[in-house]
Structure 1
Amino acid sequence: MNLNYCIKSFDELTNNELYNLLRLRSQIFVVEQNCPYLDLDNKDQKSFHLLYYVNNEFAGSTRLVPAGLSFEEISIGRVVIADTHRGLGLGKKLMEASIAGCREKFGNGPIRIGAQYHLSNFYQSLGFAEQGEVYDEDGIPHIEMLLNNTSTEE
């Protein structure tokens, strides 16, 4: 299995790359999770996008968000893997690449995420710690989690 990824600013994305990542996010977050919400929140233009490929087929993506846009800290959001590529251990690889991408693009500050609560243990395995109380976001329980800048995950 050939795995690779690239990180691009919004302006660097090709039309096809942008279409593929927005289509996947809509397919998973809106259709699969039955959660009608506006995915296009004007943060994409100020963020970097990690595009993950398996055997040169688009398999997943994340959004690397600078500090001050979603949270006070750097953030990783819109974490998504195509249903056709689940069960291959890509979630961990995608997040490790995203953490490394945040370090590369934004430096070694802490990284905060708004995680779906049922994935809390997964994110804890990557070094994130729960912060605060569980909250509802579009009908799905979420919790903020923080990865300290002293972390060495890559």
Structure 2
Amino acid sequence: MANRIAWHCHGFDDFTPRALYQALQLRDQVFVVEQQSIYGDVDGVDTHCLHLSGRDDAGRLLAYARLIAPGEKYPDAAAIGRVVVAPEARGQGMGKALMAQAVAQCRAHYPGQPIMLSAQVEASALYSAFGFEPVSAPYDDGGILHVDMRRG
């Protein structure tokens, strides 16, 4: 990666209006427009999550994920969701850096808890490299095949 990435993890109330807009804009750009997945992105979960962002030296949002506490989505596990890398930052190891940060933040904020995620099937190898294993059959979510994955 050409630029240094600054990682920041915070609660919903710590978003500035601009930073919240940028996160929602990136999610929309990739999941809805690029991947043509029609689903309710603003699902009421964001207000109960931690939000992880990676920004370059110019302050551009290049990577984002939300971290969900145990009991919010899964009864016995934390969750990582809305994992997204900006198109201009792909092919530089940003996805791996984002996942390393997401797992580390889950471990720090939810120690000893398993972690779940709903992976796009095409990206499941990335998650497997971080110790996630499939725990469901593939299923359609917004027109894209997903599989639930879990890491102990």
Moved more, 51-60 or 139-148: 51-60
Is 1:64 the counterpart of 2:61 in the alignment? no
- Normalising to structure 1: TM-score of the pair? 0.93
Contact 2:38 2:143 (8 Å CA) reproduced: no
Deviation string for 1:54-74 (max 9, x for gaps)? 223210100000112222210
Residue of structure 2 equivalent to 1:113? 117
Given candidates 14, 22, 33, the residue that maps to 2:16 is: 14
Aligned pairs, number: 148
RMSD in angstroms over aligned alpha carbons?
0.9
Residue of structure 2 equivalent to 1:32? 34
Residue of structure 1 equivalent to 2:150? 146
Residue of structure 1 equivalent to 2:44? 42
**CA deviation after TM superposition for structure 1 residue 109, in Å:** 0.8
Residue of structure 2 equivalent to 1:151? none
Identity %: 36
Contact 2:116 2:151 (8 Å CA) reproduced: yes
Contact 2:8 2:52 (8 Å CA) reproduced: yes
Runs of 4+ in 1 over 6 A off after TM superposition: none
Residue of structure 2 equivalent to 1:93? 97
Residue of structure 2 equivalent to 1:152? none
- Normalising to structure 2: TM-score of the pair? 0.94
Amino acid across the alignment from 1:135: Y
Moved more, 47-56 or 87-96: 47-56
**CA deviation after TM superposition for structure 1 residue 108, in Å:** 2.1
Amino acid across the alignment from 1:9: G
Amino acid across the alignment from 2:43: D
Deviation string for 1:20-53 (max 9, x for gaps)? 0000000101000111221000000000000111
**Partner secondary structure for residue 2 of structure 1:** coil
* Residues in 1 aligned to 2:142 and 2:25: alpha-carbon distance in whole angstroms: 19
Is 1:77 the counterpart of 2:77 in the alignment? no
